[in-house]
Each structure stands twice: as structure tokens, then as C-alpha cells.
Amino acid sequence: MQTGSMRIELATAPGDPARPNEDWAATALPAAGRGGVLVVLDGVTPPPGNGDCVHDVPWYTARLGGALTELSGSRRDIPLTEILAESIRRTADAHRDTCDLSHPRTPQATVVLARWDEEAVEHLVLSDSALLLESPEGVVRAVLDDRLDRLPSDRLVSDEVADAVARNKEGGFFTAAADPSVAGRAVTGRTPAGDVRALAALSDGASRWVETFREGDWAGCLALLAKTGPQGLIDRVRELELADTDRTYLRRGKTHDDATAVYVEL
Ligand SMILES: [Zn+2]
């Protein structure tokens, strides 16, 4: 890791300008030292008219993301899985009295959480968002929670269909909702700080560049982020979506999804 400046860029775009963006992202830097935190959440869109929660997805992601940002920054002694569990608990407490949190459609989100300091980069990934780690030699590792891909269903089915298959059920895939124990299902790891030159977090609306359109691999995706920034990646995804008029790549998927990318050069 070089001493000196740190580059952090963040961009997000709603899939549909008429609907609220259900992605949520934040970065935080300490006033002293070389540490930092990034959070990317992708709220799961519930089917209309379902659920016994008076709150919408942006309400949920703002509270969960706020708790994750605060706790991962202020409690560096606590592992990320416990940070996630406590953040879910805190968010659940905020609507336990008004809403039925046991309902399968209770608001929920995918999670990418990363925290770095002089010693290490810690990460946590739950459900289908992506975290990329680039070594000083330019080798890029994608940290993915691939449980969703192992389902016997098309990756590009709607949230509603995937939901019917297996959301938060044994053998299915897991998102942050109201049960803190889901934190134990997350993919986590710790990399020595000297082995990480850059990192990036992508919601699945942005990782389409790799996973849907196959414009390049994860290393190519990180190179594009370094060159054009997160907004450049999202702009390119939007171009690809609009160009896919015969649905070669999108198939039955929605044309645009909320897309968020955070890029950090240490
Ligand atoms: Zn609620």
C-alpha cells in the first residue's frame, strides 16, 4: 500500500427514473489513519401488495446501511459478521412494534461490506452483489456469494420468481432481512493490506457488465472502473442494455436495474 492519497469514487443510477433507487451505498474514512469502510446494499423489490410491513425498501436499506457504516467504522474490534448481525438487529428493532418481521416479504437486501486499515482488508458478501480485490501485480479476485447461481433456475429470472424458489430458506439463498443469524451465511475474508491495491463493490445492476453482457472479465471490469470511474461503468451498462433489443443477453430480465459501483484505490 502506498502512503499518501486514497481515491474513492461512487456512482449509482436507478433502473427506472420513476421509481426509487433501491440500491444504497456509502463510504467512510476515519479522521486519522489510513482506514476506511465501504457499504453497498441492493434492496430486494417485493411484489406489490404483499407483506405486513408499513415501510418501503429505501427505508430499510437506509437504516441497515447507516448501522453498517456506523458500526464498522466505530467498532473496529468487532468482526464484520457481528457488525452485520447487530445492524440487522438494530434495523429490526426499529419496526418490530409496527410490522410483522416474520413475513417472508419483510424488507431485505444483499450486502457488500469492506473495511480496511494499515494491516488488512476485511470483506463480507451476502447474496448477489460482488466485491473485487486487486493485487499490486494486477491480479483481480472476485468475491461472490454464488448460492443464487446454484439454484436450479435462471439467474435472470425476476426477483419474484427467485423469491418463490428459495429466498432465506435452507438450500436457497440468503439476504439481510430481520433475522441477525443470516450474517453467519455471508462469505467473509481478510487479506493483508499489502496484497490489495484497489477494491470495488458492485450491485448486480452494475456487475451485468461481466455477468450478463460478458464485455470482459472481472479484471477488465476493474480496469474500466480505474479508467472511467463508477459512472463510466454504469453508463456502459446502460448502452449495452439499450442495444440488446433482441434480448440476446437480457432474455427475460428487466431492461435496466438499479446499478451502483464503488471504486477504491488504496
Ligand atoms: Zn416495517
Per-residue model confidence as pLDDT tens digits over 120-173: 999 999 998 999 999 999 999 999 997 655 544 444 444 444 554 456 666 566
- φ and ψ at 91, to 5 degrees? -70, -40
CA separation for the pair 106, 114 (Å, rounded): 25
Ligand 1 centre to CA of 178 (Å) is 10
Ligand 1 centre to CA of 167 (Å) is 18
What pLDDT is stored for residue 31 in this prediction?
62
Ligand 1 centre to CA of 98 (Å) is 6
Ligand 1 centre to CA of 61 (Å) is 12
Contacts with 37 (C-beta within 8 Å, 6 or more apart), sequence order? 26, 27, 28, 29, 69, 72, 73, 113, 114, 115, 116
156 burial via Cβ count (<10 Å: 0-12, 13-18, 19+): middle
Is the whole-model pTM more than 0.85?
Answer: yes
The pLDDT tens digits of the residues spanning 27-61 come to: 998 766 778 999 999 999 777 765 678 999 999 99
Which amino acid belongs to residue 149?
Answer: D
First to last CA, the chain: 6
